[in-house]
């Protein structure tokens, strides 16, 4: 089936939902950072090649599929992740929050939300009734899914592989036992297991190959 060609309004909705900073947007669309900023301001027209690249990027970002996607999108709607992402336009849900939504762990998220974004952005300690915990925004926007919850609202969440990498990277925050439970759940409870090759590739690039390998060997034996 042929892919529907986006209209300018489709592109603008994607632009709002994507969470991309101007430098990231410039890379995705293959334009200058100045043009990216002018696109956001509505000062330049949207060309067909821009919409094509945006469509391609969006499709590639949505790596969670099938039953795993239904579970994730349903949780996002119940937890009002769309409102949170709208409040912090360059942030995405990550860490234990993503693991809980994916059904990997028995932990709960009462009273807190975990996010990541470019570190130059404001990082308040609370939002509405939730305490906010911020994870360093390393190597963005790799591994950020731009999705819609079951109510049709856009939100952003770390992919399965990025979630596992961030859990290991922030082991001191989460605790080894809880991180291990998430790795075990990711590979034993998911309909489609995360990509070990992709996870290890990015872990090695951040100097975390041995740590992630430890979790894979000891908690992901499936």
Residue 203 has pLDDT above 50, yes or no: yes
| Overall average pLDDT of the 12-39 stretch | 92
Q: Residues 134-179: pLDDT tens digits? A: 999 998 889 999 999 999 999 999 999 999 999 999 999 999 999 9
pTM (2 decimals)? 0.91
The percentage of the chain sitting over the pLDDT mark of 70, rounded to a whole number, equals 98
Domains belonging to the chain, first-starting first, are 8-61 (1.10.260), 66-219 (3.30.460)
Contacts with 76 (C-beta within 8 Å, 6 or more apart), sequence order: 82, 93, 101, 147, 149, 150, 155, 157
The Cα–Cα gap between 85 and 145 comes to 12
| Overall average pLDDT of the 81-85 stretch | 97
Residue 108 confidence class, pLDDT cut points 50, 70, 90? confident
Q: Pick left, alpha or beta for residue 194 (phi over 0 → left; psi -120 to 50 → alpha; otherwise beta).
A: beta
For residue 212, the model assigns a pLDDT of: 98
For residue 3, the model assigns a pLDDT of: 60
For residue 1, the model assigns a pLDDT of: 37
| Overall average pLDDT of the 174-198 stretch | 97
Contacts for 192-197: CB closer than 8 Å, 24+ residues apart: 192/64, 192/65, 192/66, 192/68, 193/222, 194/160, 194/161, 194/164, 195/161, 196/220
Q: Is 178 helix (H, G, I), strand (E, B) or coil?
A: helix
């Amino acid at each position: 089936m042929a892919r529907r060609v986006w209209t300018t309004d489709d592109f603008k909705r994607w632009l709002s939902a994507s969470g991309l900073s101007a430098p990231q947007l410039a890379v995705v669309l293959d334009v200058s950072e100045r043009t990216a900023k002018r696109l956001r301001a509505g000062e330049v027209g949207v060309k067909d090649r821009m919409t094509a690249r945006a469509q391609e990027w969006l499709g590639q970002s949505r790596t969670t599929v099938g039953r795993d996607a239904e579970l994730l999108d349903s949780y996002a709607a119940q937890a009002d992740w769309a409102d949170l992402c709208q409040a912090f336009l360059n942030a995405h849900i990550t860490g234990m929050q993503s693991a809980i939504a994916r059904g990997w762990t028995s932990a709960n998220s009462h009273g807190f939300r975990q996010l990541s974004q470019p570190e130059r952005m404001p990082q308040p300690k609370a939002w509405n009734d939730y305490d906010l915990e911020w994870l360093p925004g390393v190597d963005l926007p790799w591994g950020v899914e731009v999705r819609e919850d079951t109510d049709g609202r856009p939100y952003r969440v770390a992919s399965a592989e990025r979630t596992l990498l961030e859990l290991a990277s922030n082991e001191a925050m989460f605790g080894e036992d809880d991180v291990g439970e998430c790795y075990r759940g990711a590979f034993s409870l998911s309909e489609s297991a995360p990509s070990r090759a992709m996870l290890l590739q990015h872990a090695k690039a951040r100097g975390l190959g041995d740590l992630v390998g430890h979790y894979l060997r000891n908690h992901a034996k499936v």
